[in-house]
């Protein structure tokens, strides 16, 4: 056992990852870095078809670990156990290589929590990974939905989009210090405007995929909301064929988002329909969408208080609450009936 282990073993937080995915691990690493509290996680993603650490998890943990010169045990592909011993958090530029199509959105989700209290901005250059992924937020979702909700000034530039299976995206990020304030979003208010992006690889231009996604979304938004959709249509030079659409509603007090990913055998019109239907659900039932709610929780806790109303209390939300309370002196109240989540310092 190293001297660092000996000094910190008494304070080691034990985490069981058997009932959760990568979200639990990303949040734990980020909050461990911020608080200086070491942890050990076992049974990492054991309920998943391919358990253990994936490439995107390795890169997120490695990058955050660089920021605090962490001692890490078990940082290997497929590892089901990991120990993380952070030191002092410092502002350091990062160069990241994600060799798979792993989600850049999820990578940034973890890194930006960890860097929320940095003293000066840092530059993050990302080579590889995906900007559009299944079961993960598009990078544009962070830029257009999450960051405005947080009043986050971090800048993201997508140099090249990446889709499954090759990924190979490129992105540049300037992470800036965040002024943490209590988050209160219970009433969304009236709609101000509805916007979006329809993206497809250049190989799908002949089939007019991005244009068809956008046109169908416009038609449905007009039907559902009686409003015009302002949507940017773009074809991109990606290494894999793919497409995606992001839609978001700006209201007086909030931003509510939805996205859908193109898949083989799924029409462009179906991609757009799925995004619109999800947007309607999120807007009708919450003041923030369920994905934003999940991502806002650590920031609510870091600000010592907050209250939001979302469309649905998901397993991700409950899992995130449980791990945040292990690292920070806060207590969450999750009201399943009214779909509200409140946080207060203890």
Contact between residue 257 and residue 277 where contact means Cβ atoms under 8 Å apart: no
Q: How far apart are CA 186 and CA 196, in angstroms?
A: 24
* Radius of gyration, alpha carbons of the chain: 20
DSSP string, 35-62: H---EEEESTTTTSSS-S--HHHHHHHH
Catalytic pick from 5, 57, 315, 316? 316
Q: Residue 12 carries which DSSP code? A: P
What are φ and ψ of residue 39, in 5° steps? Answer: -150, 160
Let me know if 316 is a catalytic residue: yes
| Order of strands, sheet of 305-309, starting from the edge strand that comes earlier in the sequence | 183-185, 305-309, 340-345, 330-335
| Separation in Å, CA 275 to CA 220, 247, 295 | 10, 7, 19
Catalytic residues: 316
């Amino acid at each position: 056992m190293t001297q660092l282990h000996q000094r910190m073993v008494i304070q080691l937080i034990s985490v069981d990852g058997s009932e959760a995915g990568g979200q639990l691990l990303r949040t734990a690493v980020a909050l461990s870095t911020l608080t200086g509290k070491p942890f050990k996680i076992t049974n990492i993603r054991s309920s998943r078809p391919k358990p253990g650490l994936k490439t995107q998890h390795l890169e997120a943990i490695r990058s955050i670990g660089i920021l605090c010169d962490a001692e890490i045990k078990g940082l290997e592909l497929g590892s089901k156990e990991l120990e993380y011993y952070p030191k002092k958090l410092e502002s350091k530029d990062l160069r990241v290589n994600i060799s798979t199509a792993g989600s850049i959105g999820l990578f940034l989700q973890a890194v930006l929590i960890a860097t929320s209290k940095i003293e000066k901005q840092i530059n993050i250059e990302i080579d590889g990974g995906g900007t559009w992924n299944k079961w993960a937020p598009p990078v544009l979702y962070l830029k257009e939905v999450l960051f405005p909700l947080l009043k986050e000034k971090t800048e993201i530039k997508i140099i090249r989009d990446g889709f499954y299976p090759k990924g190979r995206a490129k992105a540049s990020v300037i992470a800036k210090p965040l002024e943490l304030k209590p988050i209160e979003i219970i009433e969304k208010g009236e709609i101000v405007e509805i916007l979006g992006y329809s993206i497809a690889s250049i190989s799908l231009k002949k089939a007019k995929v991005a244009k068809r996604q956008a046109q169908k979304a416009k038609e449905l938004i007009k039907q559902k909301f009686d409003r015009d959709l302002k949507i940017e249509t773009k074809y991109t030079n990606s290494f894999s064929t793919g497409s995606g659409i992001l839609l978001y509603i700006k209201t007086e007090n909030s931003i509510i988002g939805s996205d859908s990913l193109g898949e083989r055998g799924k029409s462009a019109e179906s991609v757009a329909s799925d995004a619109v239907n999800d947007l309607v659900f999120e807007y009708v039932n919450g003041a923030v969408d369920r994905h934003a709610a999940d991502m806002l929780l650590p920031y609510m806790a870091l600000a010592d208080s907050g209250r939001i109303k979302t469309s649905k209390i998901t397993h991700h939300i409950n899992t995130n609450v449980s791990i945040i309370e292990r690292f920070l002196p806060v207590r969450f109240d999750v009201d399943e009936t009214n779909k509200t989540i409140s946080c207060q310092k203890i």
